[in-house]
């Protein structure tokens, strides 16, 4: 039953039909489909098809924009559910997270932030197109245990290295762990730039963050 609902949700995103995306997301929540299943099986499944269609020239920028806006509306419905199901009362650590300078992709970064917050981290989301110095000042201001950087473009991922260099120059690198992610980012890239870890998706990001701040893997 939920498989059919998720397939329709994915298709409505691919078809660029925000009203259907919202209605089907509401239906999925109302019928008790777990929030991560709605995200993975419906929204991300659709978004990855949109990305493939864009890559092969079948879709253009407006298609990406429509799909992203529909997904944002759906995420606004799913995120409170995610939080509600993961009531955690003690902070697991303080995270400053953002998408690096020049990059306005926000959905993956926001999902990672929401998942971290749902798992007990105190999250300060700096948004997108975040200047290097803003990561540094926010890490200092919030006494962060972890800085998380997202980059979706091959042309912006170098910003992650620059932030790490700036954290070092500011004398903060010993106190703060650094986690990186985003579609073009890899384990190898994380090693090259001296990050403490790379996570492929939001679930892996929670496990990594917990490991980095010494909160275990559970
Ligand atoms: Co853009 N875009 N886009 N785009 N866009 C990509 C990334 C692209 C791969 C599409 C393609 O060609 N197939 C391509 C990048 C190519 C490259 O550099 N290798 C691309 C391009 C080229 C562009 C523009 C340059 C297009 C143009 O203008 N000609 C432009 C750049 C704008 C800019 O940033 N300066 C652009 C613009 C846009 C929109 C604004 C229209 C829109 C974003 C809207 C928004 O976010 N509000 C958009 C979208 C939607 C996409 C695709 C289709 C989907 C991205 C997305 O939201 N995915 C994307 C294709 C794709 O990725 N398949 C594409 C869903 C999201 C949940 O996944 O962000 O990967 P993702 O996050 C995952 C993981 O990566 C990981 O966990 C998340 C959850 O599982 N993760 C982390 C992410 N951050 C993490 C941080 C962590 C840990 C894990 O720790 C801190």
**pTM summary value:** 0.88
Greater confidence (101 vs 75) lies with: 101
The stretch 78-90 carries a mean pLDDT of 75
Please work out whether the CB of residue 177 comes within 6 Å of at least one atom of ligand 1.
no
Name the token pair of 157: 């991922």
Handedness of CA 7, 76, 151, 64 (dihedral sign): positive
Please work out whether the CB of residue 95 comes within 6 Å of at least one atom of ligand 1.
no
| pLDDT reported for residue 55 | 87
Please work out whether the CB of residue 207 comes within 6 Å of at least one atom of ligand 1.
no
Among residues 155, 150, 122, which one has the least CA distance to residue 135?
150
Pocket test for ligand 1, best of 76, 108, 176 (most atoms within 8 A of CB): 108
Query: Given a cut of 90, is residue 144 above it in pLDDT?
Result: yes
- What would the pLDDT profile of 106-131 be if each residue is shown by its tens digit? 999 998 988 788 677 899 999 999 99
Residue 217 — very low, low, confident or very high, per pLDDT cuts 50/70/90? very low
| pLDDT reported for residue 218 | 39
Rounded mean pLDDT of the chain?
Answer: 92
Angle, helices 61-85/107-118, rounded to nearest 10 degrees? 0
Residue 31 — very low, low, confident or very high, per pLDDT cuts 50/70/90? very high
Are the beta carbons of 125 and 110 closer than 8 angstroms? yes
Please work out whether the CB of residue 50 comes within 6 Å of at least one atom of ligand 1.
yes
| pLDDT reported for residue 124 | 97
């Amino acid at each position: 039953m939920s498989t059919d609902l998720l397939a329709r949700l994915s298709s409505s995103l691919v078809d660029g039909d925000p009203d259907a995306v919202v209605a089907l997301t509401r239906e999925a929540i109302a019928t008790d489909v777990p929030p991560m299943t709605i995200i993975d099986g419906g929204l991300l499944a659709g978004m990855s098809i949109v990305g493939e269609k864009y890559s092969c020239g079948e879709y253009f920028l407006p298609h990406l924009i429509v799909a992203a806006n529909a997904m944002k509306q759906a995420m606004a419905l799913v995120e409170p559910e995610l939080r509600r199901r993961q009531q955690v009362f003690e902070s697991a650590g303080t995270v400053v997270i953002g998408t690096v300078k020049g990059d306005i992709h926000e959905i993956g970064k926001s999902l990672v932030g929401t998942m971290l917050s749902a798992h007990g981290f105190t999250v300060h989301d700096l948004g997108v197109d975040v200047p290097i110095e803003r990561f540094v000042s926010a890490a200092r201001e919030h006494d962060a245990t972890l800085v998380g950087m997202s980059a979706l473009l091959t042309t912006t991922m170098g910003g992650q290295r620059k932030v790490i260099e700036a954290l070092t120059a500011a004398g903060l690198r010993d106190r703060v762990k650094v986690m990186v992610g985003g579609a073009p980012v890899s384990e190898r890239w994380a090693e090259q730039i001296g990050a403490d870890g790379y996570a492929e998706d939001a679930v892996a990001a929670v496990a990594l963050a917990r490991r980095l701040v010494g909160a275990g893997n559970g």
